[in-house]
Amino acid sequence: MTRRESARRVRRHWPMILWLWLLWILLWGSVGPMVLVGGLLVAVAVVGSFSLPPILPGAVPRPLAIGRLLAGLLKDIVVSGATVAWQALRYGERTSTAIVEVPLRVDSDLLITAVAELTTIAPGTLVVEIDRRRQRLYVHALPVRDETEVDRRREAVQTLERRVERAVGRGRRTGASGGEVSGPAADPGRPPGPGRPTGPESSDHPDQGGSTP
């Protein structure tokens, strides 16, 4: 294998490099310079040395979109952390919660997993189930006191999904009629509506009512 072919393979498999790099950091449990640099070199060497199928065919990383994704994620972590801390101090065990059904647009195992993981990172949200066939996430969220809050939580996850989709810069794909399509319209199996909202869980909170699905 020539050096040019190896470099081309590395460019095509950047999601795998990123995943291997993150896995290396998690296994070491450190973000020291040696771990970061060594993990990146190992990930590039593995992908450059072995023939692996592309995870996201046609994907092109977009640095600006990736930056917006990371900035939005950092903001969500800070805001959600403060909100959860306040709810815990004010209501304790009586904090209102709900399981929210979130329809997804993306139809890729990797992208769905990325959305689920990034959703779970933010305090106050936890993906409890992934319905791959129907392209749904079921997210446990707090605080949720009414249907307006349910809709807001659903929209927050779908906004994150759009950020993830823009970050990978999916290329054009061929539609059913043979023509090329791109962007959101290219995602097959898009749900026809916003999905069925679920009500808040029962609690002793005075503003809380309903039950989980």
- Burial code (b: 16+ CB inside 10 Å, e: under 16) for 175-209 equals eeeeeeeeeeebbeeeeeeebebbbbbebebeebe
- What is the number of alpha carbons within 13 Å of residue 213 lying toward its C-beta? 11
Euclidean distance between CA atoms 78 and 40, whole angstroms? 28
On the question of pLDDT at 152 being above 90, the answer is yes
- Token pair belonging to 18: 């990123």
CB atoms within 10 A of CB 107: 14
Cα distances (Å, whole numbers) of residue 139 to 45, 118, 127, 144, 182? 37, 12, 4, 12, 29
As a whole number, mean pLDDT of residues 81-108 equals 90
Each residue's pLDDT tens digit, 87-99: 889 888 888 899 9
As a whole number, mean pLDDT of residues 143-170 equals 89
As a whole number, mean pLDDT of residues 16-25 equals 81
pLDDT for res 154 = 94
On the question of pLDDT at 55 being above 90, the answer is no
pLDDT for res 160 = 92
Give percent of the chain with pLDDT exceeding 90. Answer: 26
DSSP state of 1: -
Q: What is the CA radius of gyration of the chain?
A: 20
Each residue's pLDDT tens digit, 180-209: 333 443 444 444 444 444 444 434 433 434
pLDDT for res 52 = 63
Greater model confidence, 183 or 159 = 159
- Can you tell me which residue has the tokens 């023509």? 179
Highest mean pLDDT among 23-37, 40-54, 134-148, 189-203: 134-148
